[in-house]
Structure 1
Amino acid sequence: MTTANNPATLTQSAAAILANADCVEKCRLTRVLAADWFADRVTETGGTLPPDRPARPSRPQLLPPKEMPKRAYGGERGRIGLLHALAHIELNAIDLAWDIVCRFPHEQMPKAFLDDWVQVALDEAVHFEMLQELLASLGATYGDLPAHDGLWQAAEKTADDLMARLAVVPMTLEARGLDTTPVTMERLTRNGDTVTPPALDVIYHDEIRHVAAGYRWFVHLAAKRGLDGRSEYHRLIGERFPGGLKAPFNHPARAEAAFPRDWYEPLAR
């Protein structure tokens, strides 16, 4: 039982957040746990493992990626569709960050690793809340449209290996956001949207830090296992992300994340 004199461990609290289906409460609990962790009110990591799947609200309807309806572009309807898709990504990203905190205790990662992913979880919660506010300003809310389960499927495919998780999630899926977000911001600005691009700019700059953390800890693990990091990244992407990477790449943003071109460019399809 958690009391003031016997606080929950980091992994106990993280697993509880994963088990909470309410998006608003998930974000609130993320803020509380991050504040407690960084203020040293929670100091023990613990060994609580995450659930196989995070709890999800009854809406949105989750569909296979191939069955998703075609999204509208332009106008208010298109903006709602974009914001809803991004909010779904950010909600998954909160859970992905807490899952990585809990799922790999056998790796005995240093506290700095936990610090990074607690911060990532907090960033993603802020992003979700920001996007939810933008949806509300348009008379919509998260759950109004269907969404796909591709992000969590990527988590399931990498649940056995921390290096694989880092390779696929921050170093590939999140790095893809660095490639696409500036183009999206430019298109929205051309269409007269002055509200969404500033929010996307916040997400974009946070994603650079997230990709940097993924690369940094991937290199750490490669050295720990006596592996060549670049070769291992290529091997893992070939196994776990066989479609390859999609060009064009945002080389300046990836360079800011210290992600070398010769790691990802040869994998372009």
Structure 2
Amino acid sequence: MYRQIYVMESSCPHLGADMSHAEIEECESSVVAVCPWHRYDFDLRTGHSETGLRACTYVVEVEKDPEDGVDKVYIETPEGGSNWRLVELRPVSEEFADPPPPPRLAATVLRRTEPQEEEPVVPVTNPPTTLIQWAVLILNTPNPTLKVERTRHAVHLFRTGKLASIGHKSSSAPRPPDVPSREESFSKNTVDPAKVKNRKNRAVMLHALANIEQWAIDLAWDIMARFGPSYPNLPPAFFSDFTKMALDESKHFSLLTSRLLALSPSTPYGSMPVHASLWESAAVTSDSFRSRLAIIHLVHEARGLDVNPGTIERFRKAGDKETVKVMEVIHADEVTHVTAGHRWFTWVCAQEGVQDHVEAFREEVRKGWRGDVKGPFNVEDREKAGLTREFYEGLRGEMGIIPPERMEEKKGLDDVRDLQDAVAAVPVEYER
């Protein structure tokens, strides 16, 4: 039995705080959601607040399907649009919603003989007080597991209103590093991507995917720290979207490294060669917010939507149900990441007076991408995220001319597109 289901917008109408983690309080005649930032309360039925503000609420009904007897929830769609689609369905399983991080990885990989004092999640000296300060600290955190722990902590502080501010309007906001820090062992294992190409067993595949997720954590924090101060009018919803993205990527990293450890205890994350190709695109787009959104979130991440189903199917055919569950969670989250990229690309186009955001996207790809935007395309999931065919069909990047000394490298994996293609294309092989 359902006591009552309410549907209300997830952004506070006061300053745009994320309300998805708001406290719910029962009053004498109503149930209210209390914003974690400034404690504004909103009636979940009417949206009214004692402050005079009003949040959008929607009619919701639960009806039993006559064919299968399953209760289904129907929600009134917002005005001013049509053809609404479900973009995100959050998992119920705590294991997948918030998996525990693996053991601190550096000690495992380096096989230290002397005990090392672990660095605390919150630094003892000069602890961050703003979201931007946390972003820069996380980017400068070499240990991947500590990076995950700090990401979770920072997002929790942000969502519960325990930070002094976002910090992007401050003239003294810290600058992010040109390249995120990595443990010495990981740096030594960073190789030419071509050398990763032909290693095809499933442990290597999981290791390669975890490496992508580690860079993805950094990319989510970097876009906030690098471009937030340049766009002081960015609304809180932007930071809500990208802190969620950072948290998702941390979850993906934990799921993949835990799965890797279960499959191959002798080869934990960091013990195999890795590559840093994804950060090449970050470097190319480091001076343009619009370009960063286009290349990283609407090309790289959208490519993930294309290749993930094939990877999932190969694991399914091999009988690896646990990895299939992990990859399905990752794929569902990635749809929301491309959605966020599309939302904020459209926003920045409007801010800069660009009316045709499709052509603006295609121009950014022509300038900041090398070669074709490859198919086959997952048209359905791309459209869920807002990317219709006109964005990407027949699109080719014209960035730079490859120097002769890199022509041989080009035959290998010179960026994450090819790594993703390789991961999707190789058969799933099991060590016996």
Q: TM-score range, shorter-chain basis?
A: over 0.9
Deviates more, 1:52-61 or 1:23-32: 52-61
What CA distance in whole angstroms lies between the structure 1 residues aligned with 2:128 and 2:183? 27
Answering whether residue 385 of structure 2 is matched by residue 260 of structure 1, we say: no
Show the counterpart of 1:195: 322
Report the CA distance between 1:219 and its aligned residue.
Answer: 0.6
Query: Partners in 2 of 1:70 and 1:116 — Cα distance?
Result: 33
Describe the shift of the 1:129–1:189 C-alpha distance in structure 2 as closer, same or farther (beyond 3 A).
Answer: same
Which deviations, in whole Å up to 9, do the C-alpha atoms of 1:133-191 show, x marking residues without a partner?
Answer: 01110212111111111101110110000110000111000110100000011011111
Q: Which has the larger radius of gyration?
A: 2
Structure 1 partner of 2:22: none
Contact 1:237–1:244 (CA<8 Å) still a contact in 2? no
Please tell me whether the aligned partners of residues 71 and 81 of structure 1 are also in contact (alpha carbons under 8 angstroms): no
Residue in 2 that maps onto 1:130: 255
Structure 1 residues 69-94: Cα deviation after superposition (integer angstroms, max 9, x where no partner): 33333xxxx11011000100000000
Structure 1 distance, partners of 2:158, 2:240, is 8
Higher relative CO (CA 8 A, sep ≥ 6), structure 1 or 2? 1
TM-score, normalised to structure 1's length?
A: 0.93
CA contact (8 A) 1:37 1:43 kept: no
Structure 2 letter corresponding to 1:32: H
Structure 2 match to 1:92 = 215
The amino acid of 1:214's aligned partner reads G
Q: What code does the residue aligned with 2:364 have?
A: L
Of stretches 26-35 and 57-66 in structure 1, the one that deviates more from structure 2 is 57-66
Is the Cα–Cα contact under 8 Å of residues 238 and 244 in structure 1 kept in the other structure?
A: no
Write the distance in 2 (CA, Å) between the matches of 1:52 and 1:268.
Answer: 27
1:38-93 per-position Cα deviation (integer Å, ceiling 9, x unaligned): 11111412222211111112233112323x233333xxxx1101100010000000
Larger helix proportion of the pair: 1
1:25 aligns with 2:143: no
Stretches of structure 1 lacking an aligned partner (at least 5 in a row): none
Does residue 151 in structure 1 map to residue 278 in structure 2? yes
Report sequence identity in percent: 38
For residues 268 and 194 of structure 1, do their structure 2 counterparts lie closer, same or farther at Cα, with a shift above 3 Å needed? farther
TM-score, normalised to structure 2, is 0.59
Q: CA deviation at 1:7?
A: 5.7
Q: CA RMSD in A?
A: 1.8
Structure 1 residue matching 2:370: 3-state secondary structure: coil
- Give the paired residue count: 262
Structure 2, unmatched stretches of 5+, are 1-122, 168-172, 398-432
SS of the aligned residue for 2:184 comes to coil
Q: Secondary structure at the match of 2:394?
A: helix
Alignment of 1:41-190 (within 5 A): 41-46=162-167, 47-60=173-186, 61-66=189-194, 68-73=195-200, 78-104=201-227, 105-108=229-232, 109-138=234-263, 139=265, 140-190=267-317
Report the structure, 1 or 2, having the larger strand content.
2
SS in 1 for 2:165: coil
CA contact (8 A) 2:220 2:245 kept: yes
Corresponding position: 1:242 with 2:367? no
